[in-house]
Structure 1
């Protein structure tokens, strides 16, 4: 099998280690092969790419409702601290997070199922991150959690990150869930 799926402390979140064939010319690896990923509830429909410089933190993002997305995240240049937070209130791992160092050197990927918020912080001078997703982006169904939510308590390596205006103004998870309940009434 060209991939090793490594279980994490949160159910259904996996670190994926591809088989890499290296020689004096460089390397070759499969980054996705549908049959190998059949154990995941994942059907790729879109690929996204971002470029960021050192200290940038993107996240914590997710899509709501029927627009929720599962993701496979990998780095093609640089190194990031990648995070997946379980935001499913009925989950036994609610508010728990998984973090992984993803880089062009280790070539590992992170599988993040639906119902999770995702974010990353760039540790190298620059990073190019590629995401495979299983649902289309819907701007009106975009959600986010503030990166430094004390109830989640992520141990980010860079304590004063560079944030977009949007990422610096997301609610806490508690505030988000309260707003969602209010809107359903």
Structure 2
């Protein structure tokens, strides 16, 4: 008799779609990113219901030692001349790191330490980004298609958005001044 092997959770590498497990999905629209973009006039002229990014993750136990696995889908667009980006955060437990894997699209990973020193890494399909502890991180979509990145991080890490209330040290802009994006459905 052959033992029955359950199919584990899966990710479709080309699209970032998750399957075979309970999932949680969260959408972030422009109105939830007030204060993130530099051009407040352009921000207020955009559709507040425009979806900037979705995060889908497997519903995981939250015990110490457990890991979350999720995919961020960051849509193309701009507010003024600044590219769509995730809110960005430090971890509440600062020593906790994270790993990002580029799945599709092109963009940047903005990394910043607690002293305000920032650097960028190019995100492309197949790129691997090791985010050390004590490092804030933000995805920025500089391309014309959805930027999707798979992330793995400790369930105990938490998110600290308040530590970046004055923003990151770097802003990534383009020369055109348009308000593009995807409206949430």
With the length of structure 2 as denominator, give the TM-score of the two structures. Answer: 0.48
- Which of the two has greater helix per residue? 1
With the length of structure 1 as denominator, give the TM-score of the two structures. Answer: 0.48
